[in-house]
């Protein structure tokens, strides 16, 4: 796949690892924000390939993991209502609420459907005028434009059987909460490229200045992540004397 395969090549991965090993002089704790980054790190064993001085702490950037319990419980209650078709991104189906999860609501006869895009939920509403289609609108900044478009589209199509259960969060407040917490050990962040495709970078320089932490935006392939680690440790190694 173009624009993907070249970021998975072994040669640049090993060259970046070598350069990171040469650069690191003392231990550093880095956090990657996004679940997609964590997945790539673990899948390619990057945490094991990096020198032991670098500790990767996995961040709260998975909306599935940080969706509040009460929102999941609301989802379960709504999904169990007769006449409701409850639609959700697939990852949410296994997230437990206080008692069970959406998968078990489906097993008990609830109409729970996985959608890839919020527009799929709109299509369901168009095709099933006798049912109330509810979409579980979760996510960080990246899904917000897509979730919002379903609202605009429902209005444009004059749908009366489409609604959303919303549970949206943003990355910068999460970073502030982590860095401001007593006992915080995180010294650098790998921020998520797709969040920045939506939001730009403007929220990160104030964070970097206030807490004196580098924030490096990366993609999701091994070369992207290692290039991000290298940029982060270069800043940390260069900045340590001036702290």
- In the complex, least distance from residue 217 CB atom to other proteins, rounded to whole angstroms: 12
| Residue with Cβ nearer other proteins (85 or 142) | 142
How far is residue 34's CA from residue 82's CA, in Å, rounded to a whole number? 36
| Residue with Cβ nearer other proteins (140 or 213) | 140
How far is residue 146's CA from residue 144's CA, in Å, rounded to a whole number? 5
- In the complex, least distance from residue 209 CB atom to other proteins, rounded to whole angstroms: 26
Q: Which residue has the tokens 């909460």?
A: 177
Under 8 Å between Cβ of 227 and 16: yes
DSSP for 120-171, please give it: HHHHHHHH-TTSEEEEEEEESTTTHHHHHHHHHHHHHTT-SSEEEEEEE--H
For residues 195, 197, 201, 203, the Cα torsion angle rounded to the nearest 10 degrees is -40
- In the complex, least distance from residue 63 CB atom to other proteins, rounded to whole angstroms: 8
- In the complex, least distance from residue 8 CB atom to other proteins, rounded to whole angstroms: 11
Given the rule CB under 8 A, which residues bind other proteins? 1-4, 6-7, 9, 11-12, 14-16, 18-19, 21-22, 34-36, 39, 62, 64, 89-91, 116-120, 139, 142-143, 145-146, 149, 153, 156-157, 193-194, 197-198, 219-220, 223, 227
β pairing state of 188-192 and 132-139: unpaired
| Residue with Cβ nearer other proteins (187 or 232) | 232
| Residue with Cβ nearer other proteins (62 or 79) | 62
| Residue with Cβ nearer other proteins (184 or 235) | 235
- In the complex, least distance from residue 154 CB atom to other proteins, rounded to whole angstroms: 11
Where is 192: in which H helix or E strand? strand 188-192
């Amino acid at each position: 796949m173009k624009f993907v395969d070249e970021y998975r090549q072994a040669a640049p991965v090993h060259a970046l690892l070598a350069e990171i090993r040469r650069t690191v002089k003392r231990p550093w704790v880095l956090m990657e924000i996004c679940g997609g980054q964590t997945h790539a790190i673990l899948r390619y064993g990057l945490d094991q390939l990096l020198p032991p001085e670098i500790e990767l702490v996995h961040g709260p950037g998975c909306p599935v993991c940080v969706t509040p319990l009460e929102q999941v419980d609301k989802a379960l209650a709504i999904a169990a209502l007769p006449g409701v078709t409850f639609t959700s991104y697939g990852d949410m189906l296994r997230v437990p609420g206080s008692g069970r999860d959406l998968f078990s609501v489906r097993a008990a006869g609830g109409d729970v459907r996985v959608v890839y895009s919020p527009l799929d939920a709109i299509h369901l509403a168009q095709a099933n005028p006798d049912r109330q289609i509810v979409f579980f609108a979760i996510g960080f900044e990246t899904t917000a434009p897509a979730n919002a478009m379903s609202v605009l589209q429902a209005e444009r199509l004059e749908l009366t059987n489409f609604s959303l259960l919303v549970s949206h969060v943003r990355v910068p407040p999460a970073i502030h909460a982590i860095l401001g917490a007593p006992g915080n050990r995180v010294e650098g962040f790998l921020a998520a490229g797709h969040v920045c495709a939506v939001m730009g970078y403007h929220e990160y320089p104030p964070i970097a200045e206030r807490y004196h932490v580098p924030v490096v935006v990366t993609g999701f392939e091994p070369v992207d992540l290692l290039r991000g680690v290298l940029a982060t440790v270069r800043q940390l190694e260069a900045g340590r004397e001036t702290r």
